[in-house]
Amino acid sequence: MLGRPQFEISLATKYFQSVSEIIQQAGIEVEIINQPIMVEADASEVATILYKSPLDAVVIVQGTFTDASLILTLTNTLQLPILIWAFKEEPTGERLSLNSFCGLNLAAHALTAAGRKFKGVYGNPDSTKVCADVIAFLKAAAVLNMLKGKRIGLVGHRPGGYYPSNFNEISLSSILGVKVDYISLQEVFNFAEKITCDAKPLIGDLKGIELMDSEASQKSVNAYLALKEVIANKALDAVAVECWPEFMVNYGGAVCFALSQLNDDGIVAACEADINGAVSMQIGQYLSGQATFIADLVTGDQEKNELIFWHCGNGPRTLLSTQYQPVAGVHPNRKVPLTVYGPLKGGQVTICRLSPNNDGSFRLLIGKGTGIEAPMLYSGNTIPVRLETPVDSVIQLLLNKGVEHHYIIIYGDYVKELQELARLLEIETIEF
């Protein structure tokens, strides 16, 4: 907290304590500097402490008016997202007790002139909106830090003509800190061929499994175990897998089941060698604490104002509707097992995708809607999402912006967090 002894430090301290409690109640771990920063020596001391701490972000409470020297000294060596929180003060006809906003105003001017990014918020701790903005900022900062050093395995390469699976490795590394490891399909096939296991514990609950080709189903299970072994051996955080045609044509089993199960295991696994999709899934999984669904947009229903998302049977079983038993299936186009058929559950959803711009930077698709519980609409996994924005305008937006065909479905409302992430990255958003 920044403060001056000429103002009511005791009142500012009460606000500071409220801020600490709000952040901790949101499940965020904090390191609290209780002593107010009043002189530059204090700011230097605290800056040293913060510099040595493994933090995602710094929240600075503008307790009272201060000049800008404190904020510049405090943040001079910090390369972390910064949020400054100032409080409202009702007119009393008397002297200002805190003059907090004026302090924030000075800080904002100085930081902007110094070329430093920051977020300023204004309002009291009893404001639901202000608190939501602060928590969203902190979660976005945590996402940004989480991505640094992540390693994604590209298994195989993209199918021919699937240009949306192209990616800029330099941008991923320099902007997000994400590295890509290259793994051949043959390496996975070799692992899989050596595996002997009973597939029943993993697939026995799938309705109709007895109707599937048992050899192809076993190969699908082996592919899952092989991918898991490769991920562990190479210390990968996620994979993007070339799921067709080689898996089905040359190996003899579909990888859809493997991707479904890996995501249920907490390991992000994207299909069609979609690296940017895998990064988007990592973001969604981190924010929601559960698996996400990577899907094609296949239908727009104007009457119901719904978009229908589909994929071939890679949906995590943890996301499927409990009203229907998961069904063993074949890849809808290649007719090879093993896939997991079933509609997804309903609920609030956020739709996102990290997408490359032509200049090497990124943009972020952010949408929201309500997933509707419905029977399986096409072979594989489906979910209708009812929108607040007219479907026709959303479809035109996606087409005009040239958004890729893979969309990430996240359960929950994370629009604010994604907006803050885009702001921290200084990238364009495409929103609906």
Domains in the chain, ordered, with CATH? 9-147 (3.40.50.10940), 151-431 (3.20.14)
Beta bridge partners of 340: 328
Spatial separation of the C-alpha atoms in residues 82 and 111, rounded to whole Å = 10
Q: Specify the amino acid at residue 157.
A: H
Beta bridge partners of 120: 84
Based on C-alpha coordinates, what's the Rg of the chain? Answer: 25
**What per-residue confidence (pLDDT) applies to 124?**
97
Mean pLDDT, the chain, integer: 97
**What per-residue confidence (pLDDT) applies to 394?**
98
Q: For residue range 92-108, list pLDDT tens digits in order.
A: 999 999 999 999 999 99
Beta carbons within 8 Å of 200's beta carbon, 6+ residues apart? none
Q: What token pair was written down for 11? A: 């009142």
Q: Across residues 110-118, what is the average pLDDT?
A: 96
Read off the pTM: 0.96
**What per-residue confidence (pLDDT) applies to 109?**
98
Of 387, 381, 397, whose CA–CA distance to 429 is shortest? 397
Q: For residue range 165-213, list pLDDT tens digits in order.
A: 999 999 999 999 999 999 999 999 999 999 999 999 999 999 999 999 9
If pLDDT is split at 50, 70 and 90, which confidence band does 244 have?
very high
If pLDDT is split at 50, 70 and 90, which confidence band does 31 have?
very high
**What per-residue confidence (pLDDT) applies to 47?**
96
Q: Across residues 77-81, what is the average pLDDT?
A: 92
